Amino acid sequence: MKLNCDIDIKHLTRVEGHGNIRIRIENGKVAEAQWEVVETPRFFEAMLVGKHYENAPYICGRICGICSIGHTLASIRAVENGFAITPSEQTAKLRLLLKHMETLQSHILHIYFLAAPDFLGVGSVLPLTESHPEVVQQALRLKLLANDMCDEVGGRRLHPTRTVVGGFTMLPDRYRLNQFRQRLRASLADLLASAKLFSTFDLPSFSRETEFVSLKGEGEGIYPFIGGDLVSSDGVVKAEYDYLAMTNEYMAEYSTSKLSKLSRKSMAVGALARLNNNFNELHPQAKEISEDLGLLAVNHNPYMNNVAQLVECVHVVLDSIVLIDELLSSDWQEERQPVIPQAGKGIAAVEVPRGILYHCLEFDDEGSIQRADCVIPTSQNHANIMYDIEDLARWCVAQGKNDRETELLAQMLVRAYDPCISCSVH
């Protein structure tokens, strides 16, 4: 058995933002196991103070380049909830479609560009262009489809332009939507090929029991993405406006990001949490693929988040086809409804690729923002990552892993969460 080990990774690569991993094993005992967040804070919550409500989605989108659509939609929902505006059915569908394509884009980016190189034994996606050209082509095709659709519905693939409080500035072209429907159908072949590739990956068998937090699905086939009740796998259920009861933020010296907990010392959010809490709400075909890949609810292996993301890709593609059919079955309605500000507080919970995201905005009667609060998925995951690393270090000792293996497993563990660190600090 390996008794000593010293791992010190500064600025872990192939993750979004800046974090460090430190593991020290002495005489077979874990002396130190740390996940450190060193990202610089940007103070978005302060930036918004004094700003007119229409700035919120525009500025908050800039919290994160990868999930800018999710942030934009969360801010819009917070404003609309604050002003008691209910989006039209058409707007709701278009937003969900846009959200789905962000999920697809982000998950594919993570699965192929950030996670897969570890499983295929290379340092980045670049060598894969030589060794596995078909895999890279699949990934690029899927990402291109998702991004093209974000352009069509949201106006731009990142930092969208058409999404505003009250609806959209402009509607997508119906002819092109129909073309996208064909491309979505065709993309299923690429996703099935991805599932096949995944089934050859050797996922570490490590697991640690934790509490999963997500939005709650609303019946069969309605996997949750935008708004609704909040739920945990330990049985906590809260209304959307009661988000603070789910987040319980605190600070710790090893992190410039805030941390969260609920019923236990840590909790997890993200694709695995959503899937664990809403397995029956998945599209049947997505559920089948999940079962084939050995992912059944409730699964406590953090590396399974990679698989959960792939399963969600299948779900969002299938659901997008349904959404497009519904949208095309009726004529376009008015794209934007009038907005009348009112004083009060607006709260939104939205599932973004990395987990549940909350935006809370307080307004005066002219719609000027008095206070803002954003709770980011990755910050809710930080404590869980940290305890996972501690347990993983012990597991590696027990399994007799060498330094190099332990180091790689720790990196893969953090990457599996697909952390968005600059987002978590914001």
Identify which of 91, 230, 225 has the alpha carbon closest to the alpha carbon of residue 167.
91
Interaction between residue 14 and other proteins (CB under 8 A): yes
Select 71 or 283, whichever has its Cβ closest to other proteins.
71
Do residues 376 and 357 make contact, with C-beta atoms less than 8 angstroms apart?
A: yes
CB of 350 to ligand SF4, least distance (A): 20
| Helix (H/G/I), strand (E/B), else coil: 233 | coil
Q: Which of left, alpha, beta for 23 (phi over 0: left; psi -120 to 50: alpha)?
A: beta
Q: Binding marks (x or -) toward other proteins, 67..106, rule CB under 8 A?
A: -x--------------------------------------
CB of 125 to other proteins, least distance (A): 7
Select 158 or 313, whichever has its Cβ closest to other proteins.
158
Give bridge partners of residue 309 from the DSSP assignment: none
Residues 406 and 399: their CA atoms lie apart, in Å, by 10
Per CB under 8 A, contacts with other proteins among 155-174 are 155-159, 161-162, 164, 169-170
Figure out which of the listed residues 86, 129, 179, 333 binds other proteins, where binding follows CB under 8 A.
129
Residue with tokens 């068998």: 205
Residues ≥6 apart with Cβ < 8 Å to 1 = 28, 397, 398, 400
User: Residue 213 has which token pair?
Assistant: 């937090």
Interaction between residue 193 and other proteins (CB under 8 A): no
CB of 286 to other proteins, least distance (A): 24
Interaction between residue 62 and other proteins (CB under 8 A): yes
Per CB under 8 A, contacts with other proteins among 338-357 are none
Residues 17 and 424: their CA atoms lie apart, in Å, by 9
Interaction between residue 65 and ligand SF4 (CB under 6 A): yes
Interaction between residue 62 and ligand SF4 (CB under 6 A): yes
CB of 14 to other proteins, least distance (A): 6
Residues 58 and 162: their CA atoms lie apart, in Å, by 11
Q: Which amino acid belongs to residue 148?
A: D
Residues 202 and 197: their CA atoms lie apart, in Å, by 11
For residue 179, the partner it binds in ligand SF4, other proteins, none, with Cβ less than 5 to 8 A by kind, is: none
Residues 415 and 206: their CA atoms lie apart, in Å, by 15
For residue 156, the partner it binds in other proteins, ligand SF4, none, with Cβ less than 5 to 8 A by kind, is: other proteins
CB of 376 to ligand SF4, least distance (A): 16
Select 258 or 287, whichever has its Cβ closest to other proteins.
258
Give bridge partners of residue 268 from the DSSP assignment: 212
Identify which of 146, 144, 17, 15 has the alpha carbon closest to the alpha carbon of residue 69.
146
**In the complex, which residue's CB is closest to ligand SF4?**
62
CB of 62 to ligand SF4, least distance (A): 4
Residues 412 and 415: their CA atoms lie apart, in Å, by 5
Select 43 or 332, whichever has its Cβ closest to other proteins.
43
Interaction between residue 422 and other proteins (CB under 8 A): yes
Interaction between residue 4 and other proteins (CB under 8 A): no
For residue 177, the partner it binds in other proteins, ligand SF4, none, with Cβ less than 5 to 8 A by kind, is: none
Q: Which amino acid belongs to residue 366?
A: E
How many CA atoms, within 13 angstroms, populate the side-chain half-sphere of residue 332? 13
> Measured between alpha carbons, how far apart are the two ends of the chain, in Å?
42
**Sites of contact with other proteins (CB under 8 A):** 11, 13-17, 40-43, 45-47, 49-52, 54-55, 58-59, 62-66, 68, 109, 113-114, 117, 123-126, 129, 136, 140-141, 143-144, 147, 155-159, 161-162, 164, 169-170, 251, 256, 422-423
**Sites of contact with ligand SF4 (CB under 6 A):** 62, 65
